[in-house]
Amino acid sequence: MADVDVSSNAQSLSKKAAKKQAKEAEKAALKAEKATKVERVAEENDFAKESYGILPLIQSREKIGWSRNLEFGSGDGDSSPTLHKGHYRTLVRVSELAKEKANKVVWVRARLHTSRSKGKQCFLVLRQQQFNVQGLVSVSATISKQMVKFVAGITKESIVDVEGVVQLVDQKIKSCTQQDVELHLEKVFVVSLASPCLPLQLDDASRPHQEIEEEGRVTVNQDTKLDNRVIDIRTTTNQAIFRLQAGVCSLFRNHLIRNGFVEIQTPKIISAASEGGANVFTVSYFKTSAYLAQSPQLYKQICIAGDFEKVFCVGPVFRAEDSNTHRHLTEFVGLDIEMVFNYHYHEVVESIADTLVQIFKGLRDNFQTEIETVRKQYPAEPFRFLEPTLWLEFQEGVAILRDAGIEMGDEDDLSTPNEKLLGRLIKEKYDTDFYILDKYPLAVRPFYTMPDPNNPRTSNSYDMFMRGEEILSGAQRVHDPDLLTERARHHGVDLEKIKAYIDSFRYGAPPHAGGGIGLERVTMLYLGLPNIRQASLFPRDPKRLTP
């Protein structure tokens, strides 16, 4: 299993933050110790002793609450922490706790997000994914002092089962998503107790950049977050980012399937490096060695030459590039497309651009909550796109840059800073964050790119950009074995190594084009996140292999 080095986290925090964290951890440890003590000494004469405690491990002993068609039926009088057979219990979602449920008694399973005790009362925030609600335990005829003390001692991030009455509140509770009600708890049982020493605090990890800078408040650095992803992904920001990312995949696939594309599965272990052997990971394969695929392109093309006509695949792509930038990963998810066309590769470019536009629309229409949630922590301008998509030739892009004082040759590729600058200039001029650059210089593209028959210096290839960063690279592929051989020779590619690739086109191959989209880049750039690692659940880069 992956090696999360928890012990090193403190080092990566700033001194001040580390000090604060250490203090908090100490406090929490004391708190937990007390909690355990409370539980251990659970006084026999406590009149509320049946209303709280630590549940035995849920090991599926009995089928409690399993009969899913039962009426909402809490409070059947059985209040023992050891649950009995026949005790059906419906758990209510935190998101459902609203005015309509006022005065109802409900059971909820949630995390203890925070707690704050105050004399004979203890206020809690109960969290479930991106939703949270205020809870309250206070000494009464049914709730003992010991019980309040127990609740106050439960460690943050523990999972609890609580029973309580949904109470309307006079003033909206602004710190919670459920603002109109709070839960007056009658029973509190711990399902899973969190360690008192959390390697990071959710509130710190969720703090907006602005607050950190302006108010000098504690934050958590990126490595600590990534080292402790199991806690970090609980933040509402991360819950939103990865739900939206799942949405990108789903929108991509659904649009293509509706349009007659077939999903294919391509192998990741391959016998020869796809593009000359640079930047490729080597794998030991029984008595020989193999490589990790840098792209599914060969396989997409075999499927095209194999009559599938329009294919797509979603899967990992591996690049052994020692690039430590905000936008490079050594393993990322490729959303790949390849399709035949009749007469002109622009049929394919249109189809890919349309796919992206459908994704942008789907995100805008179905993920507004997630977008707004992320924006609270990472403010960004809404993502703008045009219909039809803005489509410039590479040389038009160069002209815009030259107008802005940039010097570059006709056959130079765009540098990363120039790409970004061009993005800003295009945004100013056309008000779009998404556009296509078509007809790249032939010299800067791989050997299998179809040369432009109308201009010996350009090629039938294109990149697509979001907020000035490339998210897709694609081209018409050479589907003729003789021209492909000639192009490979021109690029100095070892013909012996690509024999099988060239041979794929010897048995009749239709004209085709395609491209590959980086999922994490789409997520990062759509949301305007500062770093691609924030758009990968478990990022891999030259220095990170864990968790």
Q: Which of residues 428-487 bind a copy of itself (CB under 8 A)?
A: 450-454, 460, 476, 479-480, 483
Closest to a copy of itself by CB, 144 vs 536, is: 536
Using CB under 8 A as the binding rule, whether residue 3 contacts a copy of itself is answered as yes
CA distance 444 to 440: 7
CA distance 385 to 357: 8
Of 86, 381, 506, 530, the one binding a copy of itself (CB under 8 A) is 506
The Cβ of residue 65 has, within 10 Å, a number of other Cβ atoms equal to 14
Give the active site residue among 89, 477, 521, 533. 521
Closest to a copy of itself by CB, 291 vs 435, is: 291
Closest to a copy of itself by CB, 46 vs 480, is: 480
Tell me the number of residues near a copy of itself by CB under 8 A: 127
CA distance 63 to 87: 9
Q: How far apart are the first and last CA of the chain?
A: 8
CA distance 464 to 235: 31
Least distance in Å: CB of 111 to a copy of itself?
Answer: 6
Closest to a copy of itself by CB, 164 vs 468, is: 164
Using CB under 8 A as the binding rule, whether residue 158 contacts a copy of itself is answered as yes
Q: Hey, which residues between 234 and 263 contact a copy of itself (CB under 8 A)? A: 234, 238-239, 242-243, 245-246, 249-250, 253, 257, 262-263
Give the residue ranges of DSSP H helices in 216-281.
222-227, 229-232, 236-258
Least distance in Å: CB of 225 to a copy of itself?
Answer: 12
Cα maximum dimension of the chain: 93
CA distance 468 to 476: 23
CA distance 163 to 98: 16
Q: Hey, which residues between 62 and 81 contact a copy of itself (CB under 8 A)? A: 62-66
CA distance 279 to 98: 54
Catalytic residue list contains 234: no
Catalytic residue list contains 470: yes
Least distance in Å: CB of 415 to a copy of itself?
Answer: 25
Least distance in Å: CB of 269 to a copy of itself?
Answer: 5
Using CB under 8 A as the binding rule, whether residue 8 contacts a copy of itself is answered as no
Q: Hey, which residues between 276 and 335 contact a copy of itself (CB under 8 A)? A: 281-286, 288, 290, 292, 298-299, 302-303, 305-309, 314-316, 318, 320, 322, 330-331, 333
Closest to a copy of itself by CB, 89 vs 327, is: 89
C-beta separation of 461 from 440 below 8 A: yes
Of 45, 71, 171, 343, the one binding a copy of itself (CB under 8 A) is 343
Closest to a copy of itself by CB, 173 vs 283, is: 283
Give the active site residue among 163, 182, 370, 470. 470
CA distance 67 to 460: 61
Of 212, 233, 357, 386, the one binding a copy of itself (CB under 8 A) is 233
Least distance in Å: CB of 81 to a copy of itself?
Answer: 14
Q: Hey, which residues between 200 and 229 contact a copy of itself (CB under 8 A)? A: 229
Catalytic residue list contains 8: no
Least distance in Å: CB of 246 to a copy of itself?
Answer: 4
Q: Annotate each residue in 364-403 with x if it binds a copy of itself (CB under 8 A) or - if it does not, as one string.
A: ----------------------------------------
Least distance in Å: CB of 435 to a copy of itself?
Answer: 20
CA distance 236 to 125: 14
CB under 8 A: which stretch of 96-104, 371-379, 409-417, 537-545 binds a copy of itself?
537-545
Residues whose CB is less than 8 angstroms from the CB of residue 318 and which lie 6 or more positions away in sequence, other chains included? 268, 280, 281, 292, 293, 294, 330, 331
Give the active site residue among 39, 321, 396, 469. 321
Give the active site residue among 319, 445, 467, 512. 319
Using CB under 8 A as the binding rule, whether residue 497 contacts a copy of itself is answered as yes
Closest to a copy of itself by CB, 15 vs 343, is: 343
Of 346, 361, 420, 491, the one binding a copy of itself (CB under 8 A) is 346
CA distance 408 to 152: 66
CA distance 262 to 88: 45
Give the active site residue among 184, 243, 253, 328. 328
Catalytic residue list contains 321: yes
Residues whose CB is less than 8 angstroms from the CB of residue 1 and which lie 6 or more positions away in sequence, other chains included? none
Residues whose CB is less than 8 angstroms from the CB of residue 462 and which lie 6 or more positions away in sequence, other chains included? 349, 436, 437, 438, 439, 440, 473, 474, 475, 515
CA distance 353 to 359: 10
Of 32, 92, 143, 509, the one binding a copy of itself (CB under 8 A) is 509
H or E element that contains 374 = helix 368-377
- Burial readout 315-342 (b: 16 or more C-beta within 10 A, e: otherwise): bebbbbbeeeeebbbbbbbbbbbbbbbe
The residues carrying an active-site annotation are 319, 321, 327-328, 470, 473, 521
